[in-house]
Structure 1
């Protein structure tokens, strides 16, 4: 598995489904259930993609997205936002994410979006 995704998702069932789906496509997933656990993770390996939930127990995924995009370390890595409570128009207005998917999501759509972003083909 040479491709890697960092997933910040507090719903363990959704995180499991995403991990399973992407692992089947030979994409490694490192999952975090909180912003704090993501920020405390110390890795020299950069991911190919971030997948962020909007509603997290210790903060807002939209702010985390903007922090990632403002970081010189991560700014060129695409971000996919997921939300059950925030519509895509609000996410587009308030984040610099490269793509947006509302929950519940279609697995094929998620997979095609992930592959498109990993290949750095951003326009939706």
Structure 2
């Protein structure tokens, strides 16, 4: 069965690259450039995994991730925190994300992370 990934990132180039690469690998991709309507976005797309950029507009990745993780229905959805920040590990932990991915990353790293998270 096709797994779906909801990606939050304000960089449309990153979104289009990730969409292309992950759709090639058989994932169903939804993207958002803001987390203003995050709970609606999750309800609409029913993702198996969420990828959250640290610098997403409106609340920011940390607040958005905490919101997901405090939601009774959505807190079990794995969140991969991704950012070019040096302290990505610390940020992901503070946000309550399940794991993290430092930018720039290669496709193999991303694929391995997605399959680990789905297990």
Structure 1 distance, partners of 2:59, 2:97, is: 17
Deviation string, structure 1 residues 66-93 (Cα, Å, up to 9, x no partner) = 1101101111110000011352332244
Q: Which runs of 5+ in 1 are unaligned?
A: 120-124
Structure 1 distance, partners of 2:17, 2:81, is: 16
Could you tell me whether the CA contact under 8 Å between 1:5 and 1:48 is conserved in 2? yes
Q: Which runs of 4+ in 1 moved over 6 A?
A: none
Give 1:57's aligned residue. 57
Answer yes or no: is 1:84 the counterpart of 2:84.
Answer: yes
Q: What TM-score, normalized to structure 2?
A: 0.88
Could you tell me whether the CA contact under 8 Å between 1:10 and 1:34 is conserved in 2? yes
- Residue 39 of structure 1 and its aligned partner are, at CA, apart by 3.9
Deviation string, structure 1 residues 28-48 (Cα, Å, up to 9, x no partner) = 011000011434437455211
**Cα 1:107–1:59, aligned 2, differ >3 Å: closer, same or farther?**
same
Q: Which runs of 5+ in 2 are unaligned?
A: none
Bigger strand fraction: 1
**Cα 1:77–1:41, aligned 2, differ >3 Å: closer, same or farther?**
closer
Matched residues, number: 119
**Cα 1:86–1:57, aligned 2, differ >3 Å: closer, same or farther?**
farther
Answer yes or no: is 1:32 the counterpart of 2:32.
Answer: yes
